[in-house]
Structure 1
C-alpha cells in the first residue's frame, strides 16, 4: 500500500519544527534543568502548532491541492489546533513538575506567580481564550451551528496575539516567532479581510430548476470572467440577495454539478437548515458570489496507482444531495464519451421521487460505454448488501471507491467495503463538516 504523501506536508512539517530546531540547542539539558527545558520546548511546539493552524486558514483557491484538497486541509488545521491546546496543558504541567522537588509552594508559584510576572498571566489569558473557541467544537458539546462556529473562531486572533506576547517576552529567538506570526497573520487577514473582495467572483442566478419539494439546481452565469473547475470539486457560495429569509452574505460550501467544460455553473442544493431553506427559494436574477474551486475528490485515487500499474476502474456510491459530484462526473462523460475510467454508479435514494437526477444519469449511461447506473430504493429494499453490489458489479471490491451522501450511508458502506478487504486508501469520501 502506498502512503498518501503531498508536497505541502513537507512544508508544514518544516514550519512546525523550525522554532524547536532553533530553540532546543540553546536550552540547558543537564542536571535537574532538563525538565524545565523540556517544558519550554513543549511550549515552543504548542505555539508552532497554533501558528501553523492559523496559516492553514488562508483557503486560497488552487493551493489546497498541495495538501490533498480542502477537506484534508481542514482536518490538518483541526489537528494542529487541538495539538496546540494539548501541548499548552503539558507545558504547564512540566513547569510545575520542574520545581516540585524543591517545594509544592514553589511549584504552584511557578505556574501561578505574583501579578508582577504579567507575561505569565498573558500566557494564561491566551490559554483561556483558546479554551473558549476550541471546547465547543468537541463532540460532547453536541452539534454546533455553522455560523456560530465561524464567529467563535474569531477569538483565535486575540488568543494568537496573547500567545505571541507571552512567548516574545520570554524567548531569546524572537526572529523565528516574528517570521511565523507574520505568515499566520497574513493568512488570517487574507481569509477575513481580503478574500471577500479579491477571491470571490460575481455570478447571477440564471435559472432555478426544481428537482424535488426541497431540492433545486441553481444555474449560475458569471458576471465577467468566471471560475474553471473539474468534476468532483466544490465552491463556496455567498448569496447577495437581501430579500432572502436567511443566509444573506453567509458563505457555505456546495459541490459543483456541472461538467467541467460547461459555461454555466450548476449547483444542487437541498434544504437542510435556515440558509439552504432560504436558498432553494432564490429567484432568477439574484446575485451570488462564488469562491473556489476547491477539492481533489476524483484525483485522490490517481495518487495510489503507480505509473507502472493499470488504472483501476471506479465505483461511485452516491445518496441524497451527495449525488452531485457524480452528476458532474457523468456530465463530463456526456460531453466526451471517452472521458475518464470505467465507472459504475450506485444511486441510493429512499424512494423514486428522491432520485433527483436519475433520468438524466440513465440517459448518459445509455450513450456512454464506460458508465453504468444502478438505483437502490432504501424504503423498498432495505440497506445495501454485499450481494446486491456483487450481483450488479462483480469486481466492486477491486475498484477505486468514491462515496458521498448522508453520514449513516457512508458509515454502512465503509464497513461493508472494509469487510470485503477494500483498503482505506482506496475509499474516498467527501464531507463538509465545519469546512
Structure 2
C-alpha cells in the first residue's frame, strides 16, 4: 500500500497557525433532529388513517375470524395508500426537505418506507381474499379470481399491485446493482400510474370513501396537494430556473481515464444559492442525452457566471458527456443536498476542525468543500482513496489548494483487501490525523467504502452525529 502524489502530499501539511475557529451566522438545527422530525411527521398521519377505518366499522362486526382478516386487509390497504402518497411527496424535490433534512436522508427514508408500502399492499390483497374465502367457504384461489373480475374496478388495483411489486423488485440492492440508472429510473416512473389506479380502486370499492363525502374530499385533497408539489418542484421550478439562467456547456476537460469535467456558464448563477457539496440534476439538450437527467455534484465552488461538474464514466449516459459540444443548452433541477458546511454547525458559532474522506466519484463534492471550508493549516485535512494512482482525479487541483491554504492532504492507493490491508483502517486514519476523534468528518464515496470507514471512525471514537455521509448510489 503506498501513499502517492508529490512529496509534500505524502504527509499532512500541518504548517501554519491553526487559526481562530470560524462559524456560520445564525442557529442551525442539528441535521439528525430534522430527520427524526420528518419521521414523526410521517407517523402523525397514521392515526387519522386508522380513524377513517374505525369510524366506518360497524360495532360488533368483528365477531369472527373472517371479519377480522378482512378488517386487517382494509387497514393494510389504507396504510399502503397513505405511504404511497408519502413516497411520492418525499421525491417531489421539496427544497426544505432536500436542503435541510438532506437528499440522502430523504432518499433513505423513501427506500425504507417503500419496502413497507409494497409489503402492506401485498398483505391487503392476501388478507382480503383469505377473509372473503373464509366467509364464503370457497377456495382462496377461486375467491381471488372472483374478487378481481367480479368486483368493480378491482382489476385496477391488481395492476397497481403488480406495478408496485415490480418497482420493489428493481429497488432491491442485488437487482439495482445490475441495472443502469436509466432503466431503474424509468421503472420507478410507473409509481405514478400505480397511485392513479389505486386511487380509482379506493373510491370504487373502499367503504371508507364510498360512504363518506368528507373522506372523499379529504383524500382527494391529499392527492391534489402531492400532485401539486410534484408539478411545482419537479417541473415548473426547474423549467423557470433553466430559462432564467440559460446554462450552456462552455468546455469539456479530460481529467483522467474515463473522467471529464464539464464547465458550464450561465447568467446570475449566484441567485441559485448553490453551495459547495451540493448537487443538481442535469439534462443536456444534445442527441442521446436530452431525454434523461442525472444527479452530479459540483466539483468546484459555484461562481456567479459558472459551475463545474466532474463525472466518471460508469457505462451509462455519463460516457457521452465527454462528447458534449460547447454551446449545448442545459436544463437542470436544484441545487439539492445538505452535504455542506452547514452540517457541521451547532448551536452557536464554534466550528471544529474538519476531516474529509473521499473515494471514487465521491471526491467531487469534497473537492468543492476543500476549496471553501473556513480555516487554515491543520483545520482541514482531506484523505483521498483510490485503487491506483491514475484514478486520483482532480489531485493536482487538491494539491494547489493545499499549498495555498496550508491544508492537510493525503492520498492512499491500493487494491481493496481485508481489514488489515485497508489504507483507511482506524489505526492508519489516527496516524494521519491524530486528533481524529475531535473532528467533524465528511465521508463520500461508494456504499461499501462509506460503510467500512464509518465503522472505523466509530471505533476510533468519532461520535455518530459528527460523521456526515453522502454515499454515491441510485
TM-score of the two chains, using structure 1 as the length reference: 0.85
CA drift of 1:230 comes to 1.1
2:430 aligns to what? 390
Distance of aligned partners of 1:99 and 1:210 in 2 relative to their CA distance in 1, 3 Å threshold: closer
CA drift of 1:84 comes to 1.7
1:81 aligned residue (114, 125, 131): 114
Judge conservation of contact 1:314–1:343 (CA < 8 Å) in 2: yes
Distance of aligned partners of 1:341 and 1:25 in 2 relative to their CA distance in 1, 3 Å threshold: farther
Deviates more, 1:323-332 or 1:352-361: 352-361
Judge conservation of contact 1:17–1:48 (CA < 8 Å) in 2: no
CA drift of 1:293 comes to 0.6
* Ranges of 4+ aligned residues in structure 1 off by more than 6 Å: none
Distance of aligned partners of 1:3 and 1:19 in 2 relative to their CA distance in 1, 3 Å threshold: same
Distance of aligned partners of 1:387 and 1:108 in 2 relative to their CA distance in 1, 3 Å threshold: closer
CA drift of 1:218 comes to 2.0
Distance of aligned partners of 1:152 and 1:345 in 2 relative to their CA distance in 1, 3 Å threshold: same
- The residue matched to 2:249 in structure 1 has which SS? strand
User: Residues of 2 paired with 1:339 and 1:91: CA distance?
Assistant: 59
- The residue matched to 2:91 in structure 1 has which SS? coil
1:25 aligned residue (55, 58, 62): 55
1:164 aligned residue (199, 205, 220): 199
| Alignment partner of 1:425 is 2:460 | no
1:211 aligns to what? 255
CA drift of 1:431 comes to 2.7
User: Residues of 2 paired with 1:388 and 1:148: CA distance?
Assistant: 40
CA drift of 1:190 comes to 4.4
CA drift of 1:53 comes to 1.2
2:6 aligns to what? none
2:397 aligned residue (360, 382, 387): 360
CA drift of 1:116 comes to 3.2
CA drift of 1:292 comes to 1.1
TM-score of the two chains, using structure 2 as the length reference: 0.79
User: Residues of 2 paired with 1:194 and 1:261: CA distance?
Assistant: 24
Judge conservation of contact 1:270–1:280 (CA < 8 Å) in 2: no
2:167 aligned residue (118, 128, 133): 133
User: Residues of 2 paired with 1:322 and 1:120: CA distance?
Assistant: 46
| Alignment partner of 1:147 is 2:182 | yes
Distance of aligned partners of 1:386 and 1:273 in 2 relative to their CA distance in 1, 3 Å threshold: same
List gaps (5 residues or longer) in structure 2.
1-29
Deviates more, 1:40-49 or 1:375-384: 375-384
User: Residues of 2 paired with 1:329 and 1:295: CA distance?
Assistant: 13
User: Residues of 2 paired with 1:155 and 1:218: CA distance?
Assistant: 32
| Alignment partner of 1:239 is 2:274 | no
1:402 aligned residue (442, 446, 452): 442
User: Residues of 2 paired with 1:339 and 1:46: CA distance?
Assistant: 52
Question: Please, what is the CA RMSD of the aligned residues?
Answer: 3.2
- The residue matched to 2:248 in structure 1 has which SS? strand
Deviation by residue 1:299-325 (Cα, 9 ceiling, x = unmatched): 57437x5559x5432221012332111
User: Residues of 2 paired with 1:53 and 1:95: CA distance?
Assistant: 24
User: Residues of 2 paired with 1:210 and 1:355: CA distance?
Assistant: 13
Judge conservation of contact 1:298–1:402 (CA < 8 Å) in 2: no
Judge conservation of contact 2:381–2:408 (CA < 8 Å) in 1: yes
Deviation by residue 1:359-388 (Cα, 9 ceiling, x = unmatched): 33233233335x321222226996313332
- The residue matched to 1:219 in structure 2 has which SS? strand
Deviates more, 1:341-350 or 1:154-163: 341-350
Judge conservation of contact 2:377–2:408 (CA < 8 Å) in 1: no
Greater relative contact order, per chain length (Cα 8 Å cut-off, separation 6+): 2
Judge conservation of contact 1:202–1:290 (CA < 8 Å) in 2: no
Q: How many residues in Structure 1 have an aligned counterpart in Structure 2?
A: 423
1:349 aligned residue (386, 394, 416): 386
- The residue matched to 1:118 in structure 2 has which SS? coil
User: Residues of 1 paired with 2:447 and 2:40: CA distance?
Assistant: 32
Distance of aligned partners of 1:158 and 1:359 in 2 relative to their CA distance in 1, 3 Å threshold: closer
Distance of aligned partners of 1:260 and 1:194 in 2 relative to their CA distance in 1, 3 Å threshold: closer
| Alignment partner of 1:374 is 2:410 | yes
User: Residues of 2 paired with 1:113 and 1:378: CA distance?
Assistant: 61
User: Residues of 1 paired with 2:442 and 2:460: CA distance?
Assistant: 16
User: Residues of 2 paired with 1:134 and 1:398: CA distance?
Assistant: 41
User: Residues of 2 paired with 1:341 and 1:179: CA distance?
Assistant: 54
| Alignment partner of 1:46 is 2:83 | no
- The residue matched to 2:299 in structure 1 has which SS? coil
User: Residues of 1 paired with 2:123 and 2:388: CA distance?
Assistant: 52
